[in-house]
Amino acid sequence: MSRHLRLDDDARDQAALFALGSLPAAEAARMEAHLAECPECRAEVDALASVVGDLALAAPGIEPPPGLKERVLARARAERREEPPAQPWKEWASTEGAGGFSLALAAQGSWDRTASPGVETRRLFVDRAGDRITMLVRMAPGSSYPSHRHGGPEECYVLQGVLRSGDLRMEAGDYKHAAEGSVDPVQATEEGCLLLISSSAHDELLAGGAR
């Protein structure tokens, strides 16, 4: 684009589109380079820039609908929220109790979501040196947990509800011990269940993946 001695209609249109920010990226880049060499176009863009700035103030003020701010903030928070880890207990620190005791009081407990929808865990005791995790696992009705290989012995006691492990059906009061290296099929529940589990922190997911 050559320097202009006098602006024609096409040059004025380009200047107006540039001032409005309506040029495609490639054309805008060429226009920026041209403005560095063309005082006429630069003066036109500068004059239009002040008009464009005033346009934003010319529109009448409109009161936003009730609750709009809260909905926008909630949406932004939801989009920022990271997907929970597949096995949150891998990130738990060791539990250190005073005087050789460790307590997990019901009133102070919190549940960690997993990447499996409807499956949550609560830390009871963590021994990193001994590779033992004791936890509650709460599964909502219709939820499931992927097949996995045990990194160490696992003990599972059903406190409430019904757990299905492949063809095995476990009800409240049932107990299962799994040896290191053994594989559990998909764990599922139709009714929902609450489990007490003591296991290794190094179980390997075989379906669904792990983060």
Q: Which pLDDT band, with edges at 50, 70 and 90, does 132 fall under?
A: very high
Q: What is the pLDDT of residue 142?
A: 96
Q: State the span(s) of the chain assigned CATH 2.60.120.10.
A: 88-205
Share of the chain above pLDDT 70, in %: 84
Is residue 177 within 8 A of residue 150, CB to CB? The reply is no
Kindly report the backbone phi and psi dihedral angles of residue 16, in degrees, each rounded to the nearest multiple of 5, phi listed first: -65, -45
For residue 9, pLDDT over 60 is answered with yes
Tell me: the pLDDT tens digits for 134-183?
Answer: 999 999 999 999 999 999 999 999 999 999 999 999 999 999 999 999 99
Mean of pLDDT values over 83-88: 88
Q: Which pLDDT band, with edges at 50, 70 and 90, does 18 fall under?
A: confident
Fold of 88-205: Jelly Rolls (2.60.120)
SS3 readout for the chain: CCCCCCCCHHHHHHHHHHHHCCCCHHHHHHHHHHHCCCHHHHHHHHHHHHHHHHHHHHCCCCCCCCCHHHHHHHHHHHHHCCCCCCCHHHHCCCCCCHHHCCCCCHHHCCCEECCCCCEEEEEEEEECCCCEEEEEEEECCCCEECCEECCCCEEEEEEEEEEEECCEEEECCCEEEECCCCEECCEECCCCEEEEEEECCCCEECCCCCC
For residue 187, pLDDT over 60 is answered with yes
Mean of pLDDT values over 17-23: 84
Q: What is the pLDDT of residue 53?
A: 63
Q: Average pLDDT over the chain, rounded to whole? A: 86
Q: What is the pLDDT of residue 188?
A: 97
For residue 43, pLDDT over 80 is answered with yes
For residue 74, pLDDT over 80 is answered with no
